[in-house]
Amino acid sequence: MMVIRPIQASDYPSLHEIAVESGIGFTSLPVNEELLRNKIASSEASFGRTVEKPGEESYLFVMEDTQNGQVVGTSGIQAAVGKDDAFYHYHIGKVAHASRELNIYNMVDILTFCNDYTGVTEICTLFLREQARKGNNGRFLSKFRFLFIREHQKRFSETVIAEMRGVSDENGGSPFWQWLEEHFFSMDFPTADYLTGIGQKVFIAELMPKYPIYVSLLSKEAQAVIGKVHEKTRPALQLLESEGFRCRGYVDIFDAGPTVEADLQHIRTAQNSRKLPVRIGDTEGANTFQIINTRIQGFRGIAAPLRIDEQQEVAILSRQAADALQIDEGDKVRFAPLKLKG
């Protein structure tokens, strides 16, 4: 069985392997021991903290295969971005160039440097190792976060975003960054991506063009990838779109990948979730749900068969599922269908 739980210090070797496997462009997991250990420590502190409103907390989870104890994936939530380090985006807008006398009217696309998402919650650091990419593992590793946010709403913002990986080649070359590099940065994409990942972002504010960029001035290759996702990121984007996430014109400043957003009240898994006490019983033939216990410390999440007794208002779980969640009969769980209809 796959169980999702908070990361702990002993998971460092697995997190390092995941960082190596994730490759260039996966900014939130650079291959840097100090940073990765700091991420683990920050997450452990966040799970142990009493919180009344979203702040600098970062929650990092791992998916563990209970059959062999192997960590096969990771997934994270940043409670409120931009409170500590500046959080940059480009916003795609338009400006009109018109002359009434000449009867000429042109709308031109521009990219404006901004910090508009400061303070919102970000789902991030989603990566599932190759050997675990089967069944519903990827879907579950992404979507359980909406149950966690719904259960512990005061820890998070009403707006939730996700930055999607943009287009780059196998060597880490980004068509969008190549144009910026040539004109402003003199630094290749892997280096810029790595520096951002380890928190050294001051160069962005120092070197990034301060005025809006006319899209038509970019190379054709750069223009073509604005708002587009990396080939390996398409399934993740489609899953988020099915949950109600949409791009509102914000893109990453390095690879121009889209940032998608949704209000918690409109995220389908959160909308369709329920919270009921547990009864241990027979679940043969029951549908598979994503299920979490209601704790912060000691959090556990699984995907397992669940039956709802509407008359008794209880959720029926198998003993195995209850043990994996580390709960007893009478404890409450929050759950939602793993696959939503429509």
Rounded-to-integer distance, Cα 179 and Cα 217, Å: 10
Q: Considering the candidates 89, 91, 97, 230, report the single residue annotated as catalytic.
A: 230
Question: Does the annotation count 230 as an active-site position?
Answer: yes
DSSP β-ladder status, 58-65 and 2-6: antiparallel
User: Are the C-beta atoms of residues 118 and 81 closer than 8 Å to each other?
Assistant: yes
Three-state DSSP string of 126-137: EEECHHHCCCCH
Q: Judging by beta carbons within 10 Å of its beta carbon (0-12, 13-18, 19+), is residue 96 exposed, middle or buried?
A: exposed
How far apart, in Å, are the Cα atoms of 49 and each of 42, 52, 56?
Answer: 11, 10, 11
* Cβ neighbours of 66 (radius 10 Å): 13
User: Are the C-beta atoms of residues 49 and 75 closer than 8 Å to each other?
Assistant: no
H runs (alpha helix) in the chain: 12-22, 33-47, 137-151, 175-180, 189-197, 202-207, 220-225, 234-243, 268-271, 319-325
Catalytic residue IDs = 230
